[in-house]
Structures are given as C-alpha cells and as structure tokens.
C-alpha cells in the first residue's frame, strides 16, 4: 500500500476518531483499534498511536490527529531516506 493511500486512510480514521470515537465507552475500543491499525500500517512508529489510551476521558486525544501525524512523519522519513540514497557516493 502506498504512503499516499495510508495518509488518506489515516485522515479518514482521524475524522472518525473526532466524531464517533468520542462516544463514551466506545472511545477506548476505537482508540485500541486505531493503535493496532497504526502498527499494521507503519510498524514500530505506529505504537505512538496508543498514547490515546492514556486519556480515560477521551477528550484530549479528540483534538490530535495522531494517525495523520504518524503518516506524515513516515512519509517525510521515506523521502529523507530516498534523498540520502540519491546523494550517496557510489
């Protein structure tokens, strides 16, 4: 799956997190599912998504687009790595 597709899915999932992910009782399950999805998409960096489970009220994480931020950071890292490979002497 390309990074752009992952970014689009991350944006959609964050929008869902801002809306239905704030339903009391459901937010914990939804945040856990998003954490699992993040790990499946990006590996170890996806573990950062589990910080949302630390907020028992579900209010603080409602304003942070965690999956989108992870996607953007991984796209930047991929771009940086490909650029470094381009300038490496052969």
Please check the confidence at residue 72 and state whether its pLDDT lies above 90: yes
User: pLDDT averaged over the chain?
Assistant: 86
Is pTM beyond 0.75? Reply is yes
CA dist., res. 29 & res. 15, Å (int): 16
Burial class (CB in 10 A: 0-12, 13-18, 19+), 41: buried
Structural contact between residues 17 and 31, judged by C-beta atoms closer than 8 angstroms = yes
Taking Cα atoms as reference points, which of 50, 70, 64 lies closest to residue 7?
70
Least confident of 14-23, 62-71, 80-89: 80-89
- pLDDT, tens digit, 9 for 90 and up, residues 6-36: 999 999 999 999 988 888 888 889 999 999 9
pLDDT confidence band for 84 (50 / 70 / 90) = low
What is the per-residue pLDDT for 60?
72
């Amino acid at each position: 799956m390309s990074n752009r597709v992952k970014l689009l899915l991350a944006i959609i999932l964050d929008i869902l997190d801002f809306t239905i992910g704030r339903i009391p009782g459901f937010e914990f399950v939804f945040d856990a599912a998003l954490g699992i999805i993040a790990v499946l998409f990006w590996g170890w960096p996806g573990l950062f998504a589990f910080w949302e489970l630390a907020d028992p009220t579900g209010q603080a994480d409602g304003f942070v687009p965690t999956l989108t931020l992870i996607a953007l950071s991984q796209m930047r890292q991929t771009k940086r790595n490909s650029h470094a490979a381009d300038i490496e002497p052969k």
